[in-house]
A and B are shown apart, each in its own frame.
Chain A
């Protein structure tokens, strides 16, 4: 199955933010979608430019609860910048024409719960969600893994 077919079957809208958003705006965007932990930063053309996790945002917003912060955490607490200063600009993505089989290892290895899917112009068009993949592919008690290869 190609990624574009997967997106039709298991549609999931990614949570996005602009690079100059504050941490509070970014946190609100994620909290409005319970269960979503990945925030994708896009430019004004809708192209994917980076990724920030809910955990990273929470670490900064809740920093005052850390009893022994490092010097780096102290600086982040008093002089925190826009969300783009936290983003991973090398976030991995899948393309619409790839096979789902070929992108799963990226989803597993990168520590993401939502693997972004981009078109040829790197515009963000959807995400492949880890829970959805697990639900679709988990081995049943009696049988082998479901086949989601090209012939499916």
Chain B
């Protein structure tokens, strides 16, 4: 059997097994990503993947990049300029604070643990992944306990926009991998970032123009997917930050279509779960018990540093924005969960030349962190919301 049929077979097997396991664990009340990862682990090289000759190697890169492109597009298209203005300074400044806090804390901690000489690139890579938050766990707690109040509202807003900041910081850190001197590097970074944003704006205007002229709604999804692929391809060709470009594409196309903006977002929202299923099962298939056991210290350091960075950064940001005391004190603990976007970004980093063979370490650390976050995140969110006095009557729990 040649390689190509096995790739398709492996993707099919991963998706079927992931769906089955995800459904099963959700019925037990556990997060479905746990099922996805467990299904992926089943096909790692130490288990069925080795026996059946199914390996996640170079072929996964384009699939991960395209899938991440879909997520970046949805993150950019999640908000409009008017909504950002209305969301208020508390949400915006707190989001910047908690994102930067996590990035700085993880970078310094990893640098301290690994050492500057051999670990600067790896510390930067972990820092690039630290900002994103998975709002699902915390929002599920809000829903479950009918929580409402200033903290709940700030959490909803920050959770909606901090992945956008996460992708911006990720793009900046990737540019930081270049060997240019500081001053020249800063200028080159500014040009590169501006180039990526401009490419996204131009693609977004073109997509909006096209969608306005497509009378059959069945054509909207292929038009959006084509725009994402084209934008990623051009950005890679011109060495621009492609995720930033795609995020700008999503934001611009929705903005240009004004009240019709949902036409370019809704068709893709239905694909998000499929993308996360792929990320987690592919990441699970890259799980290596040896790598995991050797780097348990990195897992603990990443989890603790990121959580502390979120808590301190959120406190500083909320204080700068003159947020009420419960928001300042308790916003950080509600932002600990991290899952799909971070794992996707980690998968994309595995092939970066600056990281050489450290990609597997990053994916394994992020996978373990996901489990810790899924366990600790909802508990921390419930505790914080209770201390802020925003917990209401409990309702029946849905599986996450």
- Residue numbers of A with Cβ under 8 A of B are 50, 64-72, 74-81, 84-90
Contact = CB atoms under 8 A, between A and B. Distances in A.
Contacts of B75: 71
A139 to B, nearest CB: 29
Contact of A75 (B83, B259, B398): B83
Contacts of A66: 143
B84 A86 contact: no
Interface in B233-273: 258-260, 262, 265, 269, 272
B269 A68 contact: no
B64 to A, nearest CB: 20
B139 interface: yes
B260 A88 contact: yes
Interface size range on B against A: 35 or more
B13 interface: no
A74 B86 CA distance: 13
B139 A69 contact: yes
A101 B163 CA distance: 51
Contact of A85 (B78, B160, B259): B259
Contacts of A72: 74, 77-79, 160, 262, 265, 269
Nearest to B135: A74
6 contacts: A64-B146, A74-B160, A75-B157, A79-B84, A85-B258, A89-B259
Contacts of B140: 67-68
B398 A67 contact: yes
Given A75-B79, A79-B84, A87-B259, A70 B272 contact: yes
B114 interface: no
A68 B144 CA distance: 11
Interface in B318-373: none
A70 B78 contact: yes
A102 B160 CA distance: 45
A78 B160 contact: yes
B159 A74 contact: yes
A94 B80 CA distance: 32
B45 interface: no
Given A70-B78, A75-B160, A89-B260, 12 more contacts: A64-B142, A65-B143, A67-B398, A70-B74, A70-B269, A71-B159, A71-B161, A72-B269, A74-B160, A75-B83, A79-B83, A79-B157
